[in-house]
Chains A and B, each alone.
Chain A
Amino acid sequence: MKILVVSNLYPPHYRGGYELGCHDVVRGLQARGHRVLVLTSTYGVSEPTRTEGVWRVLDHEIDRAERLPLGPLTRFGQLARREQRSRAAFLAAVLAFTPDVVYFWNLANLSITVAFLAESSGTPVCYFVSDPWLANWEQDPWYALWHGTAPRFRRAAGGRWTRLPLGVLKQLPKMLLPNSPLALRHTQFTSRHLRKSALAAGKPVGHGKVIHWGIDLQRFPYRERRPPVTRLLYAGQVLPHKGVHTAVEALGILVSELGQTQLTFTIVGGAHWPGYESQLRGLVESLRLSGNVAFAGPRARHELTRLYHEHDVLLFPSIWEEPFGITPLEAMACGTVVVGTITGGSAEVFRHETNALVFPKEDARACARQLHRLVVDPILYAALSRNARAMVETRFTLPGMIDRLEADLERVARIGTGALS
């Protein structure tokens, strides 16, 4: 099968687990004899590049948090250029590769037009959804410009002299974008929570399959720990909605109120939002935790296993609706006990007092209570560690995930070509 994978980011230039998982799956599919071409953005490279199996040619918008306000004309020009390049790049890839199926991963910050082009091309299309982009795809700025702002503008400026030029303007969206929404005939979600969110947002994905992430157990081997529990870890992007501050505050409670001065906390991850890391550093200073907390910055993926093995507890204090959470699965595979929140998809993995300990989001005191239980109860710690590994082995392995994805993609390709009615 020839599979054209479209992903906004792709290693070695990445930010989070979504694109790392994409890389794992692409390699897994290639190992099973499928031909895969990855179409991704120019994120991390200075100019468009085409190498064997990976085309880095799509325009990627930087995150809203980092984007400075632009004037309307500059913004329009920027978007129009992105549209033109994205269309050309996608069509070139389809013509050159002639895929059996177009497999969309993350389209956040890419032009949604490529999905419209794919759906109208006749090639079977499947979406693998591991964050909320699909539920909010109408927020694509080009789409929103024509389908959101323009009608409002027309209503507001419905005067006699503006009617004719606006009448012309009204026809433009039809020429540039189809009026119907994305069909989304074949979708795969990494959690029931994501499918529910997309359904709640009115997307026609009731038929979507739930295929949980899988972990490469060889890369993340189990290692038994011995008491005492002293080393805490956070691994992930250092962003406000990841709730790292809750973990720091919990450590403050453990150190100052419960006398657990031996505890250390390593924060590993890139600070894509510099203001937040400085907030955290200020919090660490104000709680007098400078000797207990280390900011280790971003680490290469191959270092993660060692980090999990060197730490006793992984903190996962997320406050947003997590799509799924790959990091906790990796840590659990390594035997590192997870203490976290069950927001969003995490609830499908964590079982309180069975394979993890959970606490309400933003509740530092509850987090500290759960951590303290691990510190004083080595039997509980050992049981959680073993159960977590067993759960990953039975439900969340990478080969198992690729089996399900492959079977579903073959089904999509067959339906798309009319081989199966």
Chain B
Amino acid sequence: MRIALDGRPIAALWTGDRTYLVNLIRHLSATARGPQLCVYLREPDRTGTLCGNARYRVRRVPSSRGATWTPVAVPQALTQDGIDVFHAVYVVPPLAPCATVVTVHDVSFRLFPRWFSLREYVMQTLLVGLSMLRSRLVVVPTFATKRDIVRTFGLSPRKLRVTPYAAARAFSPQDPAESAAAVARRHGLTRPYVLGVGFGHSRKNVERLVLAWQSVMRNVAAPTSLVLVGHVSPAARAALTRRLDSALHELVRFTGYVRDEDLSALYAAAEVFVYPSLYEGFGLPVLEAMASGTPVVTSAVSSLPEVAGNAAVLVNPYSVDAIAVALGDVLESRGLRGDLRERGLRRAAEFSWEHCAWQTAQLYAEAASLTPEE
């Protein structure tokens, strides 16, 4: 069976789409009886991620305009290559000459339109909605996302398949002393610190996290720093800093984006990882922190309880007090941190990209065997 994947998200560094595709391609092509893969790109891969091998090849599908790549250029390439199933993230061609499978990580644009511009909301609703209708199967990472899609798009649950993601191998337990040294060397950070990851979007709830941390630090003799990884705009930084006590300004550090290898050390050296996101389709950072052996505090909403299981402290993300109480409890109790660490390692080990790739390969076979009206 011949499968083509839309590989464009690979060019977008630091995104969940990229993490998903890179791991999927890597593990699909390593499966003993996996399908023959072809990864379609519009531009040459400047990240050097895709090199091709005996199990997958990389093909550049040129298109003069970005808007015509998916609806025009891709169907032509699919016909030329005799592809059986085309798989893309979020958007597939409306008139593909073969079966299509679409992965939808989340539908935040439907549930929280206030986080998006009107244009984004309309375009995403139309394109993603049509893609899901057109596709034989829709891949989602959690049952929570599946429920959200059924509720907001009215899609038949029969079309939806859950294939959970996993933490990459780069995230593994490390020696805290070595991690601390690496973190100090690369980012100039010293332990102990509380870690937050993935900021740059309102839903990540960075403001409440900062306020909760401040609330805890006001009541302790030896404060713990707060390290925020990910893009936070200068304006947002200034706004956050303004809400902090001046004595705590120096204790908040922004690292910007960091590579997975560095991120693993950042997790491993942290006292606790706090991820009070308001909505997630999966919440990969939770598993990455668990795989690195870091205690996790996260939200009790959307998919996060499903991913964290009983291996994290779950909080109401809309309540600064609730986040502060949980953070304080974890920082205070060495026993609780040890327990969370053990549970987290076990939990993270239950997810793997091998399983995700294997499940996805089964879905390709299923999609190819279904008739369009099924």
Contact = CB atoms under 8 A, between A and B. Distances in A.
Nearest to B351: A275
A364 B157 CA distance: 8
Contact of B32 (A75, A277, A282): A75
A245 B347 contact: no
Interface string A62-75: 00110111100001
A360 B158 contact: yes
A65 B160 CA distance: 21
A274 B160 CA distance: 21
A240 interface: yes
Contacts, number: 71
B358 interface: yes
A356 B306 CA distance: 31
Contacts of A245: 143, 162
Nearest to A63: B358
Nearest to B27: A69
Interface residues of A, number: 31
A278 B158 contact: no
Given A286-B305, A362-B158, A362-B160, A67 B352 contact: no
Interface in A311-327: none
A230 interface: no
A240 B307 CA distance: 16
Contact of B310 (A65, A249, A285, A365): A285
A368 B162 CA distance: 20
Interface in A279-304: 279, 281-283, 285-286
Given A245-B162, A362-B158, A141 B305 contact: no
27 contacts: A64-B32, A65-B355, A67-B32, A69-B30, A69-B32, A275-B164, A275-B350, A275-B351, A278-B350, A278-B351, A279-B143, A279-B162, A279-B164, A281-B309, A281-B310, A282-B305, A282-B307, A282-B309, A283-B306, A285-B308, A285-B310, A286-B144, A360-B156, A361-B158, A362-B160, A363-B157, A365-B157
A139 interface: yes
B359 interface: yes
Contacts of B158: 360-363
A97 interface: no
A273 interface: yes
Contacts of B306: 279, 282-283, 285-286
Interface string B293-330: 00000000001011111100000000000000000000
B147 interface: yes
Given A275-B164, A278-B351, A64 B308 contact: no
A362 B146 CA distance: 10
Contacts of B143: 245, 249, 279, 283, 286
Name the residue among A64, A70, A75, A245 with the largest chain B CB count within 10 angstroms: A64
The interface residues of chain A, by DSSP majority, are classed as helix
Contacts of A278: 309, 347, 350-351
Given A245-B143, A279-B162, A282-B306, A139 B33 contact: yes
A240 B351 contact: no
A240 B158 CA distance: 14
A273 B355 contact: yes
A414 B359 CA distance: 45
B308 A282 contact: yes
A260 to B, nearest CB: 19
Nearest to A273: B355
B76 interface: no
Nearest to B54: A72
Contacts of B233: none
Given A275-B164, A275-B352, A363-B158, 6 more contacts: A64-B31, A274-B350, A275-B351, A275-B355, A278-B350, A361-B158
Contacts of A70: 32
Contact of A285 (B33, B305, B354): B305
B296 to A, nearest CB: 13
A64 B358 contact: yes
Contacts of B162: 240, 245, 279
A240 B359 contact: yes
Nearest to A200: B369
A142 to B, nearest CB: 12
A190 to B, nearest CB: 21
A322 to B, nearest CB: 15
Ranked nearest first, the 9 interchain pairs of A and B with the lowest CB-CB distance are: A278-B350, A286-B305, A282-B306, A286-B306, A69-B30, A362-B157, A282-B309, A362-B158, A275-B355
A239 to B, nearest CB: 11
A361 B359 CA distance: 18
A279 B350 CA distance: 9
A275 to B, nearest CB: 5
A140 to B, nearest CB: 11
B151 to A, nearest CB: 10
Contacts of B351: 275, 278
A364 B144 CA distance: 13
B157 A285 contact: no
Given A275-B355, A282-B305, A286-B306, A141 B33 contact: yes
Contacts of B303: 286
Nearest to A245: B143
Interface string B206-236: 0000000000000000000000000000000
Interface in A357-396: 360-365
A65 B308 CA distance: 23
A67 B33 CA distance: 11
A344 to B, nearest CB: 13
Contacts of A68: 354
Nearest to A70: B32
A359 B370 CA distance: 19
